[in-house]
């Protein structure tokens, strides 16, 4: 069972309808027991740093990216972009993912959510929502939870999933 011991900051406010921007003083530390990484590649024992695509092009280095919310990790476990019309909100109430019907098949593949120790991760300041941490070192997996599809993982982890 995946657990989330992360409290959403009251300083997070919506920005342009599809993202959230962290509005908290830089000196406040967020303490997490675990971070989570979602992937359609199953049975991984060690995660290795990789480059990832970002529409804004602000993150241009190889790293392992992880989230404090398992549902948010599931939302990042498959390939998508806001350029394709995908919307992702993270709010105090949870994760809200909106997907065009034309991309629905991408959510029908098996997925794993990997539990990670947060010790070697640092907050990814360039990421707009404020819910991403990264490390440039390989990371051993603490636990793997497998789901038959991304869609099932999102629903079981409490995300709101909308097709349009």
DSSP per-residue codes, 124-140: -TTSTTS--EEESS-EE
Closest residue by Cα to residue 75 from 121, 42, 36: 36
Flag whether 22 is in a domain.
Answer: no
Domain tally for the chain? Answer: 1
The verdict on residue 122 lying in a domain is yes
- pTM of the complete model beyond 0.95: no
In a domain, 114, yes or no: yes
How far, in Å, CA of 142 to CA of 124, rounded? 22
d(CA 52, CA 142): 23
Q: Is residue 60 part of a domain?
A: yes
Going by pLDDT thresholds of 50, 70 and 90, the confidence category of residue 52 is low
Answer whether residue 103 is part of any domain.
Answer: yes
pLDDT band at residue 96 using 50, 70 and 90 as cut-offs:
confident
Which residues form the domain of 65? 33-163
Residue 113: the pLDDT is: 94
What does the pLDDT average to over 4-32?
A: 40
pLDDT, greater one: 2 or 144: 144
* 37 domain-assigned: yes
Residue 16 lies in a domain: no
* Residue 15 three-state SS: strand
Residue 12 lies in a domain: no
Percent of the chain whose predicted confidence (pLDDT) is above 90: 30
Tell me the per-residue pLDDT of 123-164, one tens digit each, with 9 for 90 and over: 877 766 777 888 999 999 999 999 999 999 999 998 888 899
Instruction: Report the pLDDT value the prediction gives residue 53, as an integer from 0 to 100.
Output: 54
């Amino acid at each position: 069972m995946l657990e989330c011991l992360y409290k959403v900051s009251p300083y997070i406010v919506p920005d342009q309808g599809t993202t959230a921007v962290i509005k908290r003083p830089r000196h406040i530390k967020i303490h997490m027991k675990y971070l989570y990484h979602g992937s359609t590649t199953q049975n991984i024992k060690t995660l290795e740093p990789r480059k990832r695509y970002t529409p804004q092009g602000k993150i241009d280095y190889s790293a392992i990216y992880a989230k404090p919310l398992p549902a948010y990790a599931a939302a990042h476990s498959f390939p998508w972009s806001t350029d394709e019309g995908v919307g992702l909100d993270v709010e105090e109430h949870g994760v809200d993912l909106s997907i065009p019907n034309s991309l629905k098949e991408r959510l029908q593949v098996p997925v794993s959510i990997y539990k990670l120790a947060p010790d070697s991760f640092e907050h990814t300041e360039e990421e707009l929502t404020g819910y991403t941490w990264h490390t440039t070192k390989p990371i051993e997996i603490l636990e793997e939870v497998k789901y038959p599809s991304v869609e099932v993982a999102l629903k079981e982890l409490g995300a709101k999933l909308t097709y349009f």
